[in-house]
Amino acid sequence: MDLPAARIGLARPIQSIPLVMDGTVFLADNSNAVYALDAGTGEVKWSFQPSMPKLGALPMIHTLNSNGGLLFVLCAQSALYALHPETGKVEVEWTGFFPETKHDAVRNKEWGAPSYSAPSFYGSSAIVGSSTEDPDEARGFVASYDLESGKMQWVWYVTPPAVAGPKNWDADAAKGNIAAYPNDWGEIDIAGRAAVWGQTLADEEGGRIYLGTGNPWLFHIEGSMRPGPLLYSDCMVCLDAKTGKMVWYHQSTPHDHLGWDFGMSVILAQLAVGGQKRKVLIGSSKNSHVYVADALTGKLVFQPIRVGYVGTPLNANKGNEADMVGSLDPGIYCPAHNGGINAAAAFAYNTIFVATQRFEQRLEYVDGVHKEKAIRRAKLIDMETPRYSTISAIDGSRGEVAWSYFIPNGYQGAGLTVSGNVVFGVDRTAMLHMLDASNGALLRKEPLRGHGSAGASIAATREGEMRLFVPISGAGGTENKLVCFGPRA
């Protein structure tokens, strides 16, 4: 049966996957408002809107999380809130939650420190990742905070400080797949971004933290002004959970030009390969490849697995053979920025399920100024060429695509969900696709009218009845909504 949609007058689109606990659905919108709805009736039980400063960047929330009976939300103004799930009351609040260096402090006050995903938890610590949107000085990082005192225990930065002069940013290069490069990041004072967009993943058993890192700042300057692989952007990373020190990394696209990052959360899984179980980390990149690495060593289990359309290989998967000093030539590129795999993958039945979209952009250069000096800035312009997508299943025992399902629309933001041998995916036009997980056959297609940018969740009401919850962002001035499906009779 299809149940009436709960209408929610949210200010901005929904990008967070619903979190369901004890018969209550929790989700957030892009104004950082959090809503609690009864899973059985759709009634809004409470809402929470933190005080938001004027930000230079659009704040977004991709995930919520729970720990110790509380609901945790990490907001864009450098604040972590622990809410009571029944009332929405703020039980604990930490503000100014992020480390501030002389290169971060001023900008963070102006731009905020957008945190797109909730913290993960390791023992009594909250593990958070963030970045500001400012290109010049702010940089991505991961930090561990004590839940009792709120004090920072350690911090790991993705990129070097934004200071002029040589940057010896290769101390840990030997822990991954890229050799040390002299003066990585160049001699200019722009080394920002490489945000941690996805949720960090804490492995209690192994004492490790896993994550994916974002792209370097792309559009402020041309690539030749910033030579080197630009470590540790575009990487899958493993950190020691107690110290924050790097254990290993794998960089998929050295000297990135187009934003081919690991923008979504990584997956820790037990994979059956050659008749043996292996603990692996699965990451998906906007360069339209899936990476499966040994969780202990970081060594790839398979060669990068290509899905969807790739018209511009550039530096993807070239390792030390990549062009470390070049700039893009004017022209058309695909996958472009925000193309490729731009939605969370799923893992079930020893299979990786992933959605990727074909999205093209044209590059041109425009005149710019940095510190009173003339420079060339890169500019990417969306093309009006067809934008389509595929959902693919990758056989985890062989690292090969088993089947693909074609979608004539874009697919961005909405993570895949798999349950009961069914794959649930929501494309950009809010079309819900339900596929047979074993062969990709279409079981049902449902137009939900709006914009699809958040994945679906499957959970029970207080009465124990199973439901499928699908958030849909409003279109043309309409309200956001949470669509609920129940089992058919």
Mean pLDDT lowest for which of 25-34, 72-81, 279-288? Answer: 72-81
Sheet holding 208-212, edge to edge: 201-203, 208-212, 235-240, 246-251
The token pair that represents 454 in the structure block: 């958040």
CB 310 within 8 A of CB 334: yes
Confidence of residue 212 (pLDDT cuts 50, 70, 90): very high
Residue range 398-438, pLDDT digits in tens:
999 999 999 999 999 999 999 999 999 999 999 999 999 99
Phi–psi pair at 13, nearest 5 degrees: -60, 160
Residue range 328-374, pLDDT digits in tens:
889 999 998 889 999 999 999 999 999 999 999 999 999 988 778 88
Confidence of residue 161 (pLDDT cuts 50, 70, 90): confident
Q: What is residue 103's predicted lDDT score, i.e. its pLDDT?
A: 44
**Residue 64 to residue 300: CA distance in whole angstroms:** 30
CB 156 within 8 A of CB 162: no
How many other C-beta atoms can be found within 10 angstroms of the C-beta atom of residue 96? 13
**Residue 197 to residue 275: CA distance in whole angstroms:** 34
Indicate the pairing of strand 44-48 with strand 34-38.
Answer: antiparallel
Using alpha carbons, select from 462, 443, 455, 456 the residue that is nearest to residue 485.
456
**Residue 114 to residue 133: CA distance in whole angstroms:** 7
Q: What is residue 101's predicted lDDT score, i.e. its pLDDT?
A: 47
Mean pLDDT of the chain: 88
Residue range 227-243, pLDDT digits in tens:
999 999 999 999 999 99
**Residue 153 to residue 155: CA distance in whole angstroms:** 7
**Residue 262 to residue 269: CA distance in whole angstroms:** 17
